[in-house]
Amino acid sequence: MELRQLESFLAVVEEGQFARAARRLFLSPPAVTGHIRRLEREIGMPLLERSPLALTPAGERLIPHARAVVEAARQASDAVHDLRAGNACVPLRVGVMAPGSAELTPAVLRAFRQAHPGIRLTVESLSFTEYVTPLLDRRVDVAFVRPAPEDERLAVEPLTVEPRMIIAPTACEIADAEQVRVADVLELSYVSLPETTPRRFAEYGYLMAVRGGVPPRRGSDQVRSAQDLLTSVAAGQGVACTLHSFGRYYRWPGVRCVPVLDAPWEASVLATRRDDRRPEVRAIRSLAVTLARDLGPALVPTPTLSA
């Protein structure tokens, strides 16, 4: 789904004719028609009835989301209009602790690239032990992380709020459950985070908010990344607690993801340095917040948990 496809779709809807929409966009009518046909192929259903011109139910549903994406791209473009030519070749470095802010992460990066093809984006994986220091050390400029870091030097924008999941080996006693409660998982052995893991992330990973300050039993493996975590859980070294979207992104032999019914929900955030006022950083923050507000419920499905 490309920005120009959404712009053509909105122009046809607002102008009521393909020809008038083409004049407004300074395109040929066949180009506008092609944009909408490709958009319909990607979505998998028609958006417009042609004779007479009218919106289908899918087109009606797409309109507010299309407008949100186009407006977010416009705001991002406005925010970086004052970039000097000499700065345009400097990459914007994006850190991502997998899976970032679920489906919002690739949506934000795609929208930014489409709005600013002259600004190069680079993406770097962040580990559990270093999800804050790359920002503070100026190795990355923005970071999609969880949970929200507690550091006055950083500004954070919450993007998603999700329920928690326990990742358990298939041999674990809770692996076949549809859902569990906090009381069912507190006494389990957890995979071990290194001593250098930031306190805030360790508290998140060990569910310390509901433990009364007592840490869990831990296995011998030291996990620093999503792959480490899944490998360790599959090997029977313990369970792990993470966000619901982790289970959508990762399918791993020997593990099951089980919702924790009454655990506190947790946010993923976009973090930046508070003193970084560069236009491109402001632009990606603005775009991420706009897409999280307008597209979040559609892009980030969450389960309906029964009592």
Residue 303 has what pLDDT? Answer: 54
- pLDDT over 90 at 213, yes or no: no
- pLDDT over 60 at 88, yes or no: no
What count of other Cβ atoms lies within 10 Å of the Cβ of residue 166?
A: 28
- pLDDT over 70 at 118, yes or no: yes
Average pLDDT value for the chain = 88
CATH superfamily of 164-264: Periplasmic binding protein-like II (3.40.190.10)
1-18: average pLDDT: 88
Strands 154-162 and 266-273, by their bridges, are antiparallel
Q: 54: part of which helix (H) or strand (E)?
A: strand 53-55
244-270: average pLDDT: 91
CATH number for the region 92-160+267-299 comes to 3.40.190.10
User: Do 268 and 195 form a contact (C-beta atoms < 8 A)?
Assistant: no
Q: Could you please state the CATH topology (level 3) that the domain comprising 3-79 is classified under.
A: Arc Repressor Mutant, subunit A (1.10.10)
